Amino acid sequence: MENVWKKYTKADEEKITSLTEEYKKFLNLGKTERECCEEIIKKAEAKGFKKLDDYLLKNIPLKTGDKIYVNNMNKAIALFIIGKDKITNGMNILGAHIDSPRLDLKATPLYEESELAYFDTHYYGGIKKYQWVALPLALHGVIVKKDGTKVTVKIGEEPTEPVLGITDLLPHLASEQMKKEASKVIEGEDLDVLIGSKPLTITKDKDKNLVKENILHILQEKYAITEADFLSAELEIVPAGGARDFGLDKSMIMAYGQDDRVCAFTSLEAFLNSKVSSKTLSCILVDKEEIGSVGATGMYSQFYKNTITEICILMQETLPNATNRVLQNSKMLSSDVNSAYDPLYASVSDKRSASYLNKGLVFCKYTGSRGKSGSNDANCEYLALLRKIMDDNDVSFQISELGKIDAGGGGTIAYILANENVEVVDCGIGILNMHAPWEISAKADIYEVYKGYIAFLENA
């Protein structure tokens, strides 16, 4: 496998710069699944996409070229471009997830200890807990009051705004801490975020926790919320700051949430820029993958199947098993990242079966762990088709596993769609620092996977 930079012309490099600058903007605007959904809808509507409900409420038939989307609880979204063929002949689907590892605030998060105010958190997804201490953090999310008023919260991203953080023990006093296993150096219950130290001075009630009261006073002034409103809030602690070029040659990007927003972004861009095809095209971007794809907004939800059923009705596909026929005749790329080979941690990878930065798009025939447990094992016939599509369209690709057999493993949404009889394989890019607060991707790989997604949509 050759480093793909060697094949690029100046025109290619200009396209890479243009694409990755847009990608960095997307990352900065979408640090939560809700923010991602909002940005995705803006992009889709700018390209002429309309809500499926607009068709359903007026019973307007769908026709070739119609562009529709469905927003699922502001955390997952499905988009479709209606093709020329019957939808029961199958779709070409790109699927990715838009949630990322983070810290969530508990339902009653605010407390004071020794005249310091804290937010109590519960981590979300697989993280190394020690990576989240002693770095600037931001607060993102929504609070819904009893009257239904929705308050959007974002603190810590602008240069003039304060940041938050989790404290760590100084080395001089950490002799006992340093003896612990890495998984125990910082306990989950110790990931509490320091948010203030100044007491409220406009009260005569000296018995109250005045630092906590001052935080509540600030939140009341800024957002008109009370402490009870935390009970109906979804607030996330994420790394503060934007995506940055990485490396002296600016060949990489360091940012929070690239697993899996790098694949969500490239899938969306490829989909929005695709022409009307013989087959209906779809892009499904979901929540909750990092905790097993569960819940109403995860891939296990009936949301996607229900949407396909409604589309079938509007396309006058009235067979009782129409939805199942759509899925069993569909082809999909489960767009998710792979662990890129890191020479500093070579012992966990099989070099012959690893993915590498700057070697292009990555196919992962099976994920799971150890004896392929929990994996979707894609058919060789399907891989042969994809190889031809990529070669015919000058897309550089590699085939990888996720580390050595007994080193661990991981999962994606691929097996869930495979359970619906969809032909599916994992397809994304390799990244470094996966699941860390700051992950690293290669710009050339982002360009190749974007090209690959377009080639798939137009030729599968």
pTM of structure: 0.95
Distance, first Cα to last Cα, the chain: 24
Q: Distance (Å, rounded) from C-alpha 212 to C-alpha 260?
A: 36
In this structure, which CATH number among 3.40.50.1100, 3.40.50.720, 2.40.260.10, 2.30.250.10 belongs to the domain 102-239?
2.30.250.10
pLDDT confidence of residue 288:
96
Per residue in 2-53, pLDDT (tens digit) is 999 999 999 999 999 999 999 999 999 999 999 999 999 999 999 999 999 9
pLDDT confidence of residue 405:
77
Q: Does domain 4-100+256-459 have CATH number 3.40.630.10?
A: yes
CA distances from 332 to 105, 329, 410 (A): 35, 10, 19
For the chain, list residues with pLDDT below 50: none
Question: What rounded mean pLDDT belongs to the chain?
Answer: 95
DSSP summary character for residue 51:
E
Structure tokens at 226: 């009370």
Q: Is residue 300 within 8 Å of 294, Cβ to Cβ?
A: yes
Burial class (CB in 10 A: 0-12, 13-18, 19+), 148: exposed
pLDDT confidence of residue 372:
81
Per residue in 130-187, pLDDT (tens digit) is 999 999 999 999 999 999 999 999 999 999 999 999 999 999 999 999 999 999 999 9
pLDDT confidence of residue 410:
73
Q: Is residue 94 within 8 Å of 333, Cβ to Cβ?
A: yes
Phi, psi of 236 (to 5 degrees): -120, 140
Residues of the chain with CATH 2.30.250.10: 102-239
Q: Bridge-partner residues for 254, per DSSP?
A: 244, 440
pLDDT confidence of residue 59:
92
CB atoms within 10 A of CB 328: 14
pLDDT confidence of residue 276:
93
Residues of the chain with CATH 3.40.630.10: 4-100+256-459
Q: Which amino acid is at 184?
A: K
